[in-house]
Chains A and B, each alone.
Chain A
């Protein structure tokens, strides 16, 4: 029986102590638990520290451009709808550069799962504010402190009736693994925002800061109640809920398209002779 070593990729180039290590371990445990071999799923990533993620775990990989993981993942999933496709992005990647794509991936309800490594700062470019940086955070580019309101990705997602909305925390590996498994098993689009302390550039949202605030959603919490989910999504401050915030059973895009359901397009043989009669339409 193969174990975690089967997923071991290249040596990570992240800073020592980075929250990404915890996310990587949780992910490998999740795919192992789900019985997904490295060649049976694909990760599409963008650019940022999170973008390097698929190099560090063995899998099919498309490490594309900053902000564009969701459209690429959408294309992959539409032609290969039986293969789990996970998009890995950062907060700048998914909520900044790729914000428009997130909105429309949620609307489409494509069966892609996006795991956002949300460290509330730009790591790869050395510490500028991100869309989720808290108001007042000072950086070299925001010397007076961040003036914009932090984006609340979960509230945005619930407002758009996103099919699956959850939050995990890099410091709680087992819990994160479980949420990842639920996201991967979910039929439609899933947004999993993962709180991830940046030990180099974020001096506010530290492991200690999170430790004092995060809590697990009570088993009695009903993630199918959208209004309650919206209220829960707004909770980010002294208390930060972890777990599945919202879930619905919207039919995913790939299940609505007859051509996609019939047979994965990527595997369908092509015979041009069937098209010979098509010119008749032009007479």
Chain B
């Protein structure tokens, strides 16, 4: 039996509520036990334009979007024009001719009077979204119990009357679509136990909470704003200070100050905001102040395509900051990895007193993945700070004491009699300004050269997925994990193919834990797939290992890879 795999695309103008429909529908599907993957495509505007919310629902885990669409919920005309040709056999476009003022003929159109159904029975036009969600569930021949529950949760605050009206509107949409779609091919079948749904930004926030992050400063910038919102929402309950800074320069400096003060601290931004933070990264490095910075990439230069996606800042983040210093760069491929790698970033940055980066992008930040659960026991919390120092020991405390590992004891000011002296100038062990060459040399060794091999040893190897002795190796990093896994699955029917995926990028993984270079050199062809124009990871691989990929696939239109189009491109690679 072919496994269930539908794609539902909800399209409309900004402000029409496509996100409300999408969120509710996705939540109902996940709660009913199906696997769900969602990606959003929106313009940099609050009203108008054309946006879409794409849900893929399956009986098997899904982690990428397909081009082929089974159901379109069209709230505007472009939703029809853009998607009609992408419709699968038996696919349907659900629309309201009175809403878009256009009538479509053909068996693949289903005209649902959304406005009429919303306003019947004393209802309000605002409930068009509820009707549309109900109609989608009707098409899928699903019941309304889970949706009724979701309506109760979302609208409970507005009172029982609103909840009741919406439930009735949902039922009207559902019954209408079901009655008109008796012949439709859609059949969801039984689900299972509820799945959770989580997006990349929330996963980073959750990872921060579980790591003991206590201070978050940020400046709103797409696609990182979701982390700021998440942390602000959780701040009161979990005792976190969240401050919206006047600019990204202040944001990073506040986080550095809070970390110096003794609290685990984080900030997040996009490439443009990160450009402003760069001097602060160098400051964190020189003062050996642990901080975590999430950079959500989006197409640049400059303002670029503010709401879209790209993997264009890898080398920027890798090299950002004047001077030479150690750092960690982790690039999660999924919300699950985002959670664990944010946790790892917190752990490593404090263990080694360095800046650590979580490199995300709009695609990952706004995508929602479903999971049966996430094992929070896999996160770690180890307090590396010097606490409760007795007065005698405090008197000899030196913030930058030379040690075999290069890591000096990290005390917080005011918590003991230690004098904690941090300096952005080159300094001696006590933290005071120096000019002499010997101290400078020794401090560079302490801060950078001694730590580097220790940090590298913490970096996990890339993931080899698929064939163990592949002829073809598809290579990627960060947010392309899901789509690359799926294309490798499909290609594995006809060739010995594997995916080599890097989510821990810097220090570049050595081959001690897993000799991935052997896999690459023994393969007939190695293809690097990146969502940028110049194959930045390809350059990094060449610089770090000497391996040159036999070919590269790039994409720099601001959109994520879709399964079918990536497969086509891979077929043409030699």
- Selected from B243, B249, B416, B432, the residue in CB contact (under 8 A) with A78 is B243
Residues of chain A from 25 to 71 with CB closer than 8 A to chain B in the complex: 37-42, 44, 47, 52, 54-55, 58-65, 68, 70-71
Given contacts A75-B261, A79-B214, contact A64 B287 (CB under 8 A): yes
Give the contacting residue for B239; candidates A9, A58, A265; CB below 8 A. A265
Chain B, range 358-392, C-beta contacts under 8 Å to A: 373-374, 376, 379, 381, 383
Stretch at the interface among B171-179, B202-210, B536-544: B202-210
User: Which residues in B have their C-beta under 8 angstroms from that of A276?
Assistant: 376
Q: Does A275 contact B (CB under 8 A)?
A: yes
Known A267-B262, A275-B238; judge A74-B280 contact (CB<8 A).
Answer: no
Flag B241-270 by CB within 8 Å of A: 1 or 0 each: 101011101110111111111110100000
- A52 partner residues in chain B, CB cutoff 8 A: 433
Residues of B close to A62: CB separation below 8 A: 257, 260, 287, 422
Docked complex: B192-235 residues within 8 A CB-CB of A = 194-198, 202, 206, 209-210, 212, 214-215, 217, 235
Contact B260 A259 (CB under 8 A): no
Distance A70 CA – B257 CA, assembled complex (angstroms):
9
Measured between C-beta atoms, what is the minimum distance from B335 to chain A in Å? 10
In this assembly, does B275 line the interface, its C-beta being within 8 Å of a C-beta of chain A?
no
| A103 CB, min distance to chain B CBs, angstroms | 7
User: Contact between A76 and B250 (Cβ–Cβ < 8 Å)?
Assistant: no
Query: How far is it, in angstroms, between the C-alpha of A78 and the C-alpha of B414 when the chains are bound?
Result: 13
- What are the residues of chain B within 8 A of A42 when measuring CB–CB? 261, 413-414, 420
Instruction: Say yes or no: B240 contacts A61, CB within 8 Å.
Output: no
* CB of A82 within 8 Å of the partner chain: yes
CA distance A266 to B265 in the complex (A): 10
- Set of chain A residues within 8 Å of B251, measured between Cβ atoms: 71
- A78-B412 Cα distance, complex, nearest whole Å: 14
A117–B215 Cα distance when bound, in Å, is 30
Q: In the complex, are the beta carbons of A75 and B215 less than 8 A apart?
A: yes
A-B interface pairs (CB < 8 A), number: 193
Please pick, from B259, B381, B417, B433, the residue contacting A270 in the complex, using a CB distance under 8 A.
Answer: B381
Interface residues of B in 85-118 (CB under 8 A from A): none
Assuming A265-B214, A282-B202, is B262 touching A79 (CB within 8 A)? yes
| CB–CB A78/B245 < 8 A | no
A278 at the binding interface (Cβ < 8 Å): yes
Contact of A71 with B249 in the complex, beta carbons under 8 Å: yes
User: In this assembly, does A2 line the interface, its C-beta being within 8 Å of a C-beta of chain B?
Assistant: no
- Which residues of B are found within 8 Å of A38, using beta-carbon distances? 419
Contacting residue for B420 out of A61, A78, A265, A268, CB 8 A? A61
CA distance A38 to B391 in the complex (A): 13
Answer whether residue B431 sits at the interface, using C-beta atoms and an 8 A cutoff: yes
Are B250's CB and A71's CB within 8 A?
yes
Q: Please give me the residue from chain B that is nearest to A52 by CB atom.
A: B433
- Which residues of A have CB within 8 Å of B256? 64, 72, 75
Question: Bound complex: CA of A63 vs CA of B432, how far in Å?
Answer: 9
Picked from B235, B254, B258, the residue with its CB within 8 Å of the CB of A259 is B235
Is B283 part of the contact surface with A, judged by Cβ < 8 Å? Answer: yes
Min Cβ gap B140→A in Å is 20
Distance in Å from the Cβ of A156 to the closest Cβ of chain B? 15
Q: Which residues of A contact B262 (CB under 8 A)?
A: 79-80, 266-267
Once bound together, how far apart are the Cα atoms of A83 and B265, in whole Å?
Answer: 19
Give, as a whole number of angstroms, the nearest-CB distance from B263 to chain A: 4
- Given contacts A75-B265, A275-B238, A278-B206, are A65 and B422 in contact (CB under 8 A)? no
A265 vs B418: C-alpha distance in the bound complex, in angstroms? Answer: 19
Nearest CB on A from B382, distance (A): 11
A266 near B261 (CB under 8 angstroms)?
Answer: yes
Q: Given A60-B419, A282-B197, does the pair A71, B254 have CB atoms closer than 8 Å?
A: yes
B413 touches A83 (CB 8 A): yes
Give Cα distance in the complex from A273 to B125, angstroms: 45
User: What CA separation (Å) do A37 and B263 show in the bound complex?
Assistant: 23
**Complex Cα gap A64–B283 (Å):** 7
Does B46 belong to the interface (CB within 8 Å)?
A: no
Whether B214 contacts A65 by the Cβ 8 Å rule is no
Which of B210, B212, B250, B373 is within 8 Å of A104, CB to CB? B250
Contact A71 B241 (CB under 8 A): no
Residues on A with C-beta less than 8 A from B196 are: 279, 282-283
Decide: A266 and B424 in contact? CB cutoff 8 A: no
The verdict on B188 contacting chain A, using a C-beta distance below 8 Å, is: no
Shortest Cβ distance from A40 into B: residue: B414
A260 close to B (CB within 8 Å): yes
The reply to whether the CB of A226 lies closer than 8 angstroms to some CB of chain B is no
A262, A265, A279: which contacts B373 (Cβ < 8 A)? A279
Whether A144 sits at the interface, judged by CB under 8 Å, is no
Chain B residues near A74 (CB-CB < 8 A): 243, 250, 254, 257
Q: Which A residues lie within 8 Å of B217 (CB)?
A: 75
Closest to A107 in B: B246
Tell me if B523 counts as interface (CB < 8 A to partner A).
Answer: no
From residue B201, how far is it (CB to closest CB) to chain A in Å?
13
Question: What does the 1/0 interface line of A244-276 toward B look like (CB < 8 Å)?
Answer: 000000000000011110100111101010011
B249 touches A68 (CB 8 A): yes
Contact, CB under 8 Å: A61 / B374: no
Contact B374 A258 (CB under 8 A): no
CB of A229 within 8 Å of the partner chain: no
> Contact partner of A75 among B239, B249, B258, B425, CB < 8 A?
B258
- In the complex, which residues 194-249 of chain A have their Cβ closer than 8 Å to any Cβ of chain B? none
The verdict on A103 contacting B241 (CB below 8 Å), with A61-B431, A80-B262, A279-B376 known, is no
B451 within 8 Å of A (CB atoms): no
Q: Is B279 an interface residue (CB 8 A)?
A: yes
Contacts of A257 in B (CB 8 A): 241
B257 and A73: CB pair below 8 A?
yes
Shortest CB–CB separation between residue A78 and chain B, in angstroms?
5
**CB-nearest residue of chain A to B425:** A63
Contact A71 B424 (CB under 8 A): no
Q: Quick check: A65 and B421 within 8 Å, CB to CB? A: no
Residues of chain A within 8 A (CB-CB) of B198 are: 282
Residues of chain A within 8 A (CB-CB) of B414 are 39-42, 60, 80, 82-83, 266
Interface check B394, CB cutoff 8 A:
yes
Q: Please name all residues of chain B whose beta carbon is closer than 8 Å to the beta carbon of A9 when the two chains form the complex.
A: 432
Identity of the chain A residue whose Cβ is nearest the Cβ of B217 in the assembled complex: A75
Q: Is the CB of A72 within 8 A of B260?
A: yes
B467 contacts the other chain (CB 8 A): no
- Assembly CA distance A117 to B417 (angstroms): 28
Cα A276 to Cα B259 with chains together (Å): 25
Best-surrounded residue of A40, A262, A270 (most CB of chain B within 10 A): A270
Residues of B within 8 A of A77 (CB): 257, 261
Q: Please, which residue of chain B has its CB at the minimum distance from the CB of A37?
A: B417
Residue of A nearest to B213 (CB): A270
Contact B212 A270 (CB under 8 A): yes
Q: List residues of chain A with CB within 8 A of the CB of B486.
A: none
Let me know if B564 is at the binding interface, CB within 8 A. no
- Determine if B344 is an interface residue (Cβ-Cβ < 8 Å): no
B256 (CB) vs chain A CBs: closest residue: A72
CB-based nearest A residue for B289: A62
**Given contacts A39-B417, A61-B421, A272-B381, A78 and B206 within 8 Å (CB-CB):** no
A sample of 14 more A-B contacts (CB under 8 A), given A55-B421, A61-B422, A282-B197, is A39-B419, A47-B424, A61-B419, A62-B422, A63-B433, A65-B279, A65-B280, A75-B260, A101-B250, A103-B246, A266-B214, A266-B262, A270-B383, A272-B381
Q: Which 6 A-B pairs have the closest CB atoms?
A: A75-B257, A266-B262, A60-B413, A72-B257, A71-B253, A75-B258
Q: List 5 A-B contacts (CB under 8 A).
A: A39-B419, A41-B414, A54-B421, A59-B419, A79-B214
Binding site for B on A (CB under 8 A): 9-10, 37-42, 44, 47, 52, 54-55, 58-65, 68, 70-80, 82-83, 100-101, 103-104, 257-260, 262, 265-268, 270, 272, 275-276, 278-279, 282-283
